[in-house]
Structure 1
Amino acid sequence: MDVIGAGFGRTGTRSLKAALELLGFGPCYHMSAVIAEPYRVRQWLDVGEGRSQDWDTVFAGFRSALDWPASAYWRELAAYYPDAKVILTVRDPARWYDSVSATIFRSALDQRRPSLRRRAIRRLVSWRSPDFALYPRMARATFIDRVFDGRVGDRDHVIEVFERHVAEVKAAIPGDRLLVFEAGEGWEPLCAFLGVPVPEVPYPRANERADFRRKRPRRLLRLIVRGR
C-alpha cells in the first residue's frame, strides 16, 4: 500500500482515485470497488463487527485506498502500512454535509424508514445478491455508527465529527507523511507530495453527487437481474 486516504466520503475521493491511478498508484480501492464486487461487503462486515482485520486480504492487488469504509480505519491502516503516505481530503464542512446528506446518509436514513417500494427492492436484492443485501449493516458497522454514532441526520453533530476528524488526522500523522488536499488544488501539491511529475492532462473532475444519483438505480437493477 503506497497511499492511504483519511478523508471522508464526498470530499473529492472519486476524483482523487482517478488521479492516483493516472499517476501509477493504482488500482485504487474505493467504495465503488465494494459495490462492484459485493463479496467485499462481507469482508468489511467482518472488520466492522470485530471478527477480522486481515488488511492484506482486503486490499490484495491495490496500491492505494480512499473513501469509506477504508478511511474510517485510517489509524489502523497508517500503523499497518508504515511506509504509506496519507492524504486527507477536505472541503468546506457545510457544503460537504449538504453533499453527503443527499447521498450516502440519505440512503442510511431511508433504510430506517423504508417505503413499500424500497422494501420490495430490498427483498429482491436479498434474493439475488445476499452479499450486497448486507451493505446497510456493513455501512452502519464501519462508519455510520462507528464514526457518527448513528446520528447522520443531526447536521451540527455530523459537522462537528467532520471537523474533529480533520484535527485528529493532522495531529496524529507527521507532516512529512501527510498531505491535506482539496480537489480544487489540482495536480501540483499532489504530485509534489508523491514525488512524481505533473501529467499533461487536466486533474480529474468527478461530480460525485450526480454519479451517485445516476448509478445507484443501475446498480440495484443489475443486482436484481444478474444476481451480482
Structure 2
Amino acid sequence: MASEPFPSEFMSDYNRSDEERFPELFRQGPMADRHKATRIVPMRVFVFGLPRTGTSSIRIALSRMGFNNIYHLLSVLHDPDDAQWWLRAGDAKWNKRGTFTKEDFDKLLGHCQAVCDLPPALFADELMASYPEAKVVILNRDVDKWYISMTQTILKNGPPNAWSMLRGFLDWRESGQVLKMLGQEMNNMFGSRPGGMTESNMKAIFIEYHEHIRRIVPREKLLEFKVQDGYKPLCDFLGVPVPTTVIGEKEVEEPFPRVNEGAAFHDRANAMRKCQTRRILKRIGKLVNAVVLVGVGLWYLRR
C-alpha cells in the first residue's frame, strides 16, 4: 500500500482532535530543499479538476490504489515554501515574467506520481508538455452543484481584508505565502473577466476549463470521471487493481472515499485559523520577551 502523508483524512471520526484530523496544518515540513531535488519516480497521472469537484476524495483514492505522493493543495500547506515555486510558475504563465521549465517541475514534483487540485490543475498545458507520457483524468461535476459548493466554501471567505493581510504578514512562512499563491491563482482563473467572480462567469470558466482539457489530451489517454463512478473505471483506466478490504472473513471492494464535504472544509479552515493564531501569539510573545529583556538590560546599565 502506498504511503500517504495525511492518512487520517480517510477516516471519518469527527471526535478526534484537530491535530489528528488535519496533521498537515500542525506538522509542517521539514521544508524540502527543492533546489536540490530532481525526479525520482515517473509521473503517471494528472487529475485535472477545479476545487470542489472531489479532488480530496480522489487524492485518497489514488493513494489506496498504490500511487505514491499525490500532489494536492494539502501538499503546499504541509510544505509552505512550495508556494514560492508556484508563484514563479504563475508569473511565467500569466505575467510572462521569467520561465518555469520541466527541470523546475521536476524539482517541485519529482517525488510525485500523480497530481490533483490546485495548484497543478491550473498548469495543465505546462505539465502535459513536461510529462507527455502521463495519463489524464478529467474530474467532472454538475456545474450548478459545483457553483453552489464554491459559494458555500471557498467564496464564502470573501476577498482578503486588512486584518487577514496583517495575519498573513505576521505568519508569512507558514500561511502568508500560501495565501498569496492562492490569490494569484484565483484571480487569474476566475477574476480576469469583466464583472469578476459572478455566477455566469464562474460557470462559463468551469465549462471552458473542461473543454480545454478535452481538446489538448489525446482521447486514448483521457478518462472522464466523477467520484460517484467509484473505483472500477479509474482502476481499469490506470491499470491497477481495485482496492479491497476484509469485512468479517470476506474480502470486498472498498467504498470510494468521500472526504472534504462542506462541513469538513469549514472544520479545516477553522483549524487553520487556530494554528495561525497560535503561531502569531507565540511570535509576539517572543518579541515582547526580547523587548523586555533589552529594556531591563538598558535600565540596569544606566543605573
**Equivalent pair of 1:29/1:62 in contact (CA under 8 Å):** yes
**Equivalent pair of 1:86/1:177 in contact (CA under 8 Å):** yes
Q: Aligned partner of 1:134: which letter?
A: Q
**Equivalent pair of 1:89/1:180 in contact (CA under 8 Å):** yes
Q: Per the alignment, in what secondary structure is the counterpart of residue 156 of structure 1?
A: helix
Q: Per the alignment, in what secondary structure is the counterpart of residue 4 of structure 1?
A: strand
* CA deviation after TM superposition for structure 1 residue 100, in Å: 1.5
Query: Partner residue of 1:123?
Result: 166
TM-score, normalised with respect to structure 1? 0.88
TM-score, normalised with respect to structure 2? 0.68
Show CA shifts across 1:108-137 (max 9, x none): x331xx3xxxx4454234223345213333
- Residue 186 (structure 1) aligned with residue 236 (structure 2): no
Q: Aligned partner of 2:159: which letter?
A: D
Structure 1 Cα separation of the partners of residues 114 and 63 of structure 2 = 9
After superposition, the Cα gap between the structure-2 partners of 1:137 and 1:124, relative to the gap in structure 1 and judged at 3 Å, is: closer
Structure 2 Cα separation of the partners of residues 44 and 169 of structure 1 = 20
Query: Partner residue of 1:153?
Result: 197
Q: Aligned partner of 1:196: which letter?
A: V
Identity %: 30
Structure 1 Cα separation of the partners of residues 61 and 129 of structure 2 = 24
Cα RMSD (Å)? 2.0
After superposition, the Cα gap between the structure-2 partners of 1:148 and 1:120, relative to the gap in structure 1 and judged at 3 Å, is: closer
- 4+ runs deviating over 6 angstroms: none
Query: Partner residue of 1:209?
Result: 262
Segments of 5+ residues of structure 1 without an aligned counterpart are none
Query: Partner residue of 1:134?
Result: 177
Bigger Rg, structure 1 or 2: 2
Show CA shifts across 1:60-115 (max 9, x none): 311111001110111111111111111110100010011112222333x331xx3x
Q: Aligned partner of 1:81: which letter?
A: Y
Q: Aligned partner of 2:179: which letter?
A: P
Segments of 5+ residues of structure 2 without an aligned counterpart are 1-42, 93-97, 245-253, 284-303
Structure 2 Cα separation of the partners of residues 221 and 126 of structure 1 = 16
After superposition, the Cα gap between the structure-2 partners of 1:223 and 1:60, relative to the gap in structure 1 and judged at 3 Å, is: farther
Q: Aligned partner of 2:145: which letter?
A: R
Structure 2 Cα separation of the partners of residues 185 and 31 of structure 1 = 23
Structure 2 Cα separation of the partners of residues 220 and 150 of structure 1 = 28
Query: Partner residue of 1:3?
Result: 45
What is the number of equivalent residue pairs in this alignment?
220
- Residue 225 (structure 1) aligned with residue 278 (structure 2): yes
Q: Aligned partner of 2:268: which letter?
A: K
Q: Aligned partner of 2:221: which letter?
A: R
Q: Aligned partner of 1:205: which letter?
A: R
Query: Partner residue of 1:22?
Result: 64
